[in-house]
Structure 1
């Protein structure tokens, strides 16, 4: 059966909290707190909950803040592929759906009252599917995980006192909403939740400028083709297979290098997914390159050393650059003449 109590909540955002890899490595969420009393300033205390930054979470307190509703937004999947697909459309104001939404009263509206305004990632033409990004939950480096891309959008909506439209399934307690993501094409475990025109998402209306922004999330394991009746997968093509794997700088880092005699480079996978390094290359500043072995691979959050006997490194200092199979830079480091003359000892690079 489809997700229960599906609808849209028109509200005003006032606060958010996000769980990083230390607080919840398994099923983290971004909690967006909001109210729906337009013109009334809510009374709440954000100190009601104390976060444990960079420590394993030991809190047993509830996740609610008295006086506010909460949207629980998934930022990691519990599937084998834990990445999420992420799309943002900054020109959603051109879509006919916004005219229906703008006339809604503040509060929650179930599917029967907003039938013409429900979301469907496959059938509603809400965004360009090819422009999505596959992102892990929380890894080192800028603009390369779900926290990096989602928090700025949420923060801006709060700072600019925007109106938000949260699509998903209302809690049984009616004090918030979840399933703020695609709700069709699920793996067998969650197939019962499949349905058409019941996808979750976040639409943001900046009243002063008139801009509408849409933020849309799906699990990498969800199918991109579903049947029109039940929303069940009708092909094995998933977002994880459809969207190109994106390697930005800092996804794989050059950790160490031995530049004299038995030359080698140690690479570290900073992501939580297995990375094949076939056809990747290491370059020096002279433009010379050596390709990594076809069998080269790094498991999630692991390191591996690779011999580079055919690549010349200058004792006077050099630059080592790592590029992927498409020739795009993934990481780069440099060392000076003092480091270049260390006999057989690895140069350790800080990131």
Structure 2
């Protein structure tokens, strides 16, 4: 996915609706403290005319990306593709995909569409003296749009778009797929963080290691209960990531461990399975778990490493399909010589 991905930090200033465009956006103007304006273009409808799915997480807590926000400079910062700073709805989840909702892009009343909802939260953030962290792709060419001149973005390059999930696309948009390149808005209020996340209903989950729709993936529209006949839910593995010793006493290599659990009432054999960390390092797993038992996977330092600044862990089966995923924070890693139970 050849985009200049990163995060824009600034203060929300004003917003402009698009109610008549074929692919409408909510246009958001943000300012750096020095006065530099930026434009954030947020899709509120797909180019096929379907409604955009959205998730509101308030408060947003317990995710490794949050610890990196305070140290970000104002303006745009490029991000590495990992759980320490970038967003990935599938490989480092911030919310339950099944809890999404949809609203039309525009409506006749004052509080009946997606632009109304987003504007409400942005106005609240502005009134509280808050900040916005917008994740997405930086403008790389000047398209000479009138909205840029209106917002003071005179070179057309001070802006960001793709403020939505950027994986699980099929058809003409499959080339946009990637990992740890998802967009979204995080609003910083004086007392909390709020997450606003968006996706097109045609996008599919789960995704594979490249961000493409995995075999058997469902469209988000189907997960949310729309899109024709009800489909059976995807099979859920009985093997899951239970807990980990992230910060053992002494040198970490060889002492860190991850514990897998077996929910089945039968033995489960894991052959050619593996764990992946936020940097893509892998630890192979070949073992059999007794009914209801746990398996301690020792990390020798050559594969998976549990960073003290937080991260994620992905469990893959012998086809490299994602079986389970968890995230942990720097606060979790601060538990010295104690196992951390992962949040669900």
TM class, shorter-chain normalised? Answer: 0.5 to 0.7
CA distance in 2, matches of 1:3, 1:235: 26
- Tell whether the 8 Å contact from 1:3 to 1:198 is kept in structure 2 after alignment: no
CA distance in 2, matches of 1:203, 1:127: 13
Q: Aligned to 1:70, which of 36, 39, 43?
A: 39
The equivalent residue for 1:34 is 30
| Alignment gaps of 5+ in structure 2 | 142-156, 229-344
The equivalent residue for 1:343 is none
CA distance in 2, matches of 1:187, 1:134: 20
> Is the counterpart of residue 200 in structure 1 residue 196 in structure 2?
no
The equivalent residue for 2:8 is 9
Q: Aligned with 2:69: secondary structure?
A: helix
- Tell whether the 8 Å contact from 1:3 to 1:169 is kept in structure 2 after alignment: no
Cα root mean square deviation, aligned: 2.2
Q: TM-score, normalised by structure 2?
A: 0.58
Task: Give the superposition deviation at 1:123.
Answer: 1.8
Structure 1 96/234 Cα, relative in aligned 2: closer, same or farther at 3 Å? same
Task: Give the superposition deviation at 1:129.
Answer: 1.5
The equivalent residue for 1:242 is 223
Give the greater-gyration-radius structure (CA): 1
Q: Aligned to 1:184, which of 162, 167, 187?
A: 167
Q: Aligned with 2:134: secondary structure?
A: strand
CA distance in 2, matches of 1:70, 1:76: 18
Structure 1 238/101 Cα, relative in aligned 2: closer, same or farther at 3 Å? same
Deviations 1:113-151 (A, max 9, x none): 976210011121201222110222123457543123212
The equivalent residue for 2:158 is 175
> Is the counterpart of residue 99 in structure 1 residue 80 in structure 2?
no
Higher strand share: 2
- Tell whether the 8 Å contact from 2:81 to 2:180 is kept in structure 1 after alignment: no
Q: Aligned with 2:215: secondary structure?
A: coil
CA distance in 2, matches of 1:139, 1:233: 35
The equivalent residue for 1:83 is 51
**Aligned ranges 1:269-280 → 2 under 5 Å:** none
Give the count of matched residue pairs: 213
- Tell whether the 8 Å contact from 1:12 to 1:162 is kept in structure 2 after alignment: yes
Task: Give the superposition deviation at 1:238.
Answer: 0.6
